[in-house]
Amino acid sequence: MSTENEGPRTIKSVETAFDVLEVIHTHGQIGVTEIANALDISKSAAHHHVTTLAQRNFLAKIDGQYRLGVRFLTYGGRARKCEDVFEMGRADVDELAHKTGETVRLIVENSGYGLTLYQSLGENVTEPHTHMGMMEYLHSTAAGKAFLAALPQAEAEAIIDERGLERLTTNTITSPDELYKELERIRSRGISFDNEEQFEGVRCIATTLIGESDDLLGAVSISAPTERMSHHRFRSELPRQLQSVTEEINRVEEYRFRHELPCISRTLSQ
């Protein structure tokens, strides 16, 4: 029997273990029966997986339910430090959050989604809508649209075709033609705007970080509730501050590239 068109072989038990983790991550804390029902597996199978993961400290058991364990912090911290953009940008992100008083994020493109690599909260923020590690669609966020505008046309179209244009608010762009026109405007002005397209009542601006070799490193975004994001602040004041910060981060990347400074990922591998 031919296997020419088959995908790469995977290990079913490993896939199930990751499915279990995804369910727990989604619910925050959940019991074995609920996990089994969510994944359509036997209760005993679910129990074997959570017991194994708990023994390795990837899960913690509290009052008969399971949540993610602290060991993920070790892996997440190491993975984040391998991102050059994290090391280059976090101080500037902190400074921008301090100056604006709002939520400032450092975001990278990951498998057709936007992933929050780092987040800093200004003094005005009490209940942020986002968090580190959060994954978002690209078409509905300022950073995501900035990514799509910076990618080669064929790559952007492939992501849009694969992920679709799900409506998250009444302002979300769901028409491919409209989205492509918006991407052209982003390329022209260098700033991307999210006018309540991801969350009702929240506006966001973003721009990309481009490396010396024209690599797409990531994006920086500023978000705030509409009551603190007037038209002038949204369209003029904050974009100027944002562009100033991203230019500084890009200068750091250019210096590292020209002087061949070792990036974190190479240092860790030595």
266 pLDDT band (50/70/90 cuts)?
Answer: very low
128 pLDDT band (50/70/90 cuts)?
Answer: very high
Q: Decide if 115 contacts 132 (C-beta within 8 A).
A: no
Q: Decide if 101 contacts 110 (C-beta within 8 A).
A: no
pLDDT score for 9: 77
Q: Decide if 22 contacts 58 (C-beta within 8 A).
A: no
Angle formed at CA 101 by CA 96 and CA 107, multiple of 5 degrees: 50
Q: Decide if 132 contacts 117 (C-beta within 8 A).
A: yes
For the chain, what is the mean pLDDT?
87
Cα atoms found within 13 Å of the Cα of residue 177, Cβ hemisphere only: 0
Q: Read off the pTM.
A: 0.70
Q: What is the pLDDT of residues 187-245, one digit of tens each?
A: 999 999 999 999 999 999 999 988 766 778 899 999 999 999 999 999 999 999 999 88
CA-based nearest residue to 223, from 236, 196, 205: 205
Q: Which domains does the chain have, with CATH numbers?
A: 12-69 (1.10.10.10), 76-265 (3.30.450.40)
Structure tokens at 22: 């995804």
Q: What is the pLDDT of residues 148-196, one digit of tens each?
A: 999 999 999 999 999 999 999 999 999 999 999 999 999 999 999 999 9
